[in-house]
Amino acid sequence: MNKLIEKVLEYNGPVERFKQSGLTLVYLSQELKEDKNIVYPDNVAYAFFSPVTDDFLLEKEKENNIEFPNLYRELLKGCNGFSLEIGHFNFYGLDLDLWKGFSHKEKAFFGPDVIEVNQSFAPKKISSRFFIIGEDYHKNCWIGIKDEKTYTINRYGKQLEEIDFINERISSVEEFNRNSNEAISHVKGLYKNS
């Protein structure tokens, strides 16, 4: 996960960090960060949270009567959730039990946590077989763990393929970073008539 976060931070956009929540935002560009016509977070290329501790993991498992897959636990120790490539790929972290005293920028990324996703959002026919950890909107599929391996699963529950979660994301981030002008143009186009 550390290598992935390093690739994210190689992106040439302004970075904003929020100490209390552990959120880091990487904007598409300084221009889009300052453009008041753009609805936040449409101007954010990447967002990720700080890692969690073993004690926090154990507390969440006990609180929710659940045992996380070891693979997921290891991922959380590098990052407690992220949104990559303007939200096209999400990795679900754990709820920080935070709400009061945070900016609207931080709250925008306090979405559903991995427990909510597995209990309420992902169809039961999928979450009963996989531990859902994210979504890939490019491929329109869930990302889940089964037997300590990561898979893509289509919206109907069919297991598509085993993936190398981190290396696939690193390649995707590298490609996004190389072609960021397309993303910037796309966002500008969305707000052209604003």
For the chain, 194 residues long, give each residue's pLDDT as a single digit of tens. Answer: 999 999 999 999 999 999 989 999 999 999 999 999 999 999 999 999 999 999 999 999 999 999 999 999 999 999 999 999 999 999 999 998 766 778 889 888 988 899 999 999 999 999 999 999 999 999 999 999 999 999 999 999 999 999 999 999 999 999 999 999 999 999 999 998 76
Cβ-contact 133, 141 below 8 angstroms: no
Dmax (CA) for the chain in angstroms is 51
Contacts of 122 (CB under 8 A, 6+ apart): 132, 142
pTM: 0.94
For residue 110, the model assigns a pLDDT of: 86
Determine the Cα angle at 7 with ends 1 and 45, to 5°.
105
For residue 107, the model assigns a pLDDT of: 87
For residue 20, the model assigns a pLDDT of: 86
Cβ-contact 1, 133 below 8 angstroms: no
Contacts of 120 (CB under 8 A, 6+ apart): 112
For residue 98, the model assigns a pLDDT of: 64
For the chain, the structural domain boundaries read: 2-110+164-190
For residue 116, the model assigns a pLDDT of: 95
One DSSP character per residue, 71-137 reads: HHHHHHTT-S-EEETTTTEEE--------TT--HHHHTT----HHHIIIIIS-HHHHTTSEEEEEET
Contacts of 121 (CB under 8 A, 6+ apart): 112
Cβ-contact 58, 68 below 8 angstroms: no
